[in-house]
Chains A and B, each alone.
Chain A
Amino acid sequence: MISYLLHWRKNSDKPDVVPEKLQSSIDPKILLLILGIVVTFQIYLYGAYPNPDNASKLVDVISIINPLIASVAAFIVAKKYWGSKIFGKAYLVLAIGLTMNFLGETVYGIYDTLGYDTSFGPMDILFYTFYPLVLAHLVLNIRFFKPKISLFTKLWVIAIPAAIISVYSVLSFEKQGEANFTFYTGLIYVVMSSIILSGTLLGARVFKQGVLGKAWLVLLIGIILQTSGDVWYGYLDTFDQYTLTHPMNLLYYASYMVITYALYKHQKII
């Protein structure tokens, strides 16, 4: 109230002009802040933990908190649209999806603390569940707002995941010379992640001309970071090169923060 009065006093001599077009810009400072946070964290990890295994507790905590914040944000947005057929359902499934990632990270943290094998386990099932739920979020939105999709659009929607999967498979297979279990478990992440990347790109195109397009563009950035993380993780895991302090983790940390910002923008816009 006070800030409103101060704003009113400061601007009382200016006439109120109704904007011809609604505006909502993406704040580059927030994206730079996210970048700054994750890079600073990585530099700290390198400095404080020369042995990556010693960083497990801190990395586990950060890895758990990040999707938790994003899922809470998604539940808040879902509550805002509660009861509506499209937004209500779409944001609820997204919130559940992010919760699955939070639970996956929690189980991973427990396994890591107890010294169990973390290469494949129940956490992967929880992580896998995230993707169909995000896909459901995308399908609900796109099917409602863009019921007719042109053949050209369908082609590039299929081509993007096909290209990502091919590049990943060729690179991994060339280096490894065989397709082992780790290759396939990593491939599942890459396949699902590339599909949601393609779907988010389509969603961002549908809303591009509208103010909601800004929120979708931020979401797209978050999903690109997530997909890049999945591809990189899958590749590293196949060759047993993944460590808790590996810089690829920055992509995951940043992706949740960017997704949270996208959710904030969505509820602010509409």
Chain B
Amino acid sequence: MSGLDTLIAKSLDSTIKENLGKKTLQKVEDRLFEKHGINLTQAIEDFTKLDGILREFFGEGAEGLEKQFLENIVTVEETKAQDPNWVAIEDPTLAKLILESFGDEDKKNIINTVLDQPKIISEILETAQIPQTSGYRKVNSLIENGLLTVQGYVTTHDGKRVNKYKSIFENITINIEKNKIVVKVLIAKESIEQSSIIQVMQRR
């Protein structure tokens, strides 16, 4: 699953429940399992499958449904002056996750280290000057939350492949507008390309 999809998946489940209700969600999940043998979180990894199931139920209405899901989570900046890859994080849980990651000094340093180019974990920890024990824990937490994503690998002298990681963001802005914290992130181009959700949405 791409980093961006992992990040969106964190909120998608609750958004479906909120709009369609528990029983409808259950029917969608049952059909997903019956047809593809996967659950909702797994379906987000292959968004075309979820899209197919939603179309079986709602026909053309699935497009509006998916658009709503995404808009509850992120909105894409449409101003020409700005890079089209800037997205505003609408979902409070997602915004909290990003703010907490940037509020943690070590995590912030880790992300800053891999903003421009991918690195293996040991390199990241060395550049960010973070002790190995807590460093690995924090890197893993960022990977789990989708803020770091795999991008290429290096082969060690004994032939092992070690993944390189990069931040899914290239830039981030945090503003306070009318008592509301607005988090906007510039998504890395490769993260957009790897995201099955964004790819399905862009095909329309």
Contacts and interface: CB of A to CB of B under 8 A. Distances in A.
Given A144-B68, A145-B65, A208 B21 contact: no
Nearest to A210: B59
A82 B20 CA distance: 10
B56 A208 contact: no
A85 B18 contact: yes
Contacts of B60: 145-146, 205-210
A83 B57 contact: no
6 contacts: A22-B56, A86-B19, A144-B19, A146-B61, A206-B59, A208-B59
Contacts of A207: 58-61
Most A Cβ at <10 Å: residue of B23, B35, B61 = B61
A88 B67 contact: no
B24 interface: yes
A18 B35 CA distance: 6
Interface in A205-262: 205-213
Contact of A212 (B21, B31, B57): B57
Interface of B is mostly: helix
B161 interface: no
A81 interface: yes
A270 B27 contact: yes
A270 B67 contact: no
B180 to A, nearest CB: 20
B96 interface: no
A164 B65 CA distance: 32
B190 interface: no
B24 A210 contact: no
B5 to A, nearest CB: 23
B158 interface: no
A206 B55 CA distance: 11
A205 B23 CA distance: 24
A57 interface: no
Contact of B55 (A18, A81, A85, A209): A209
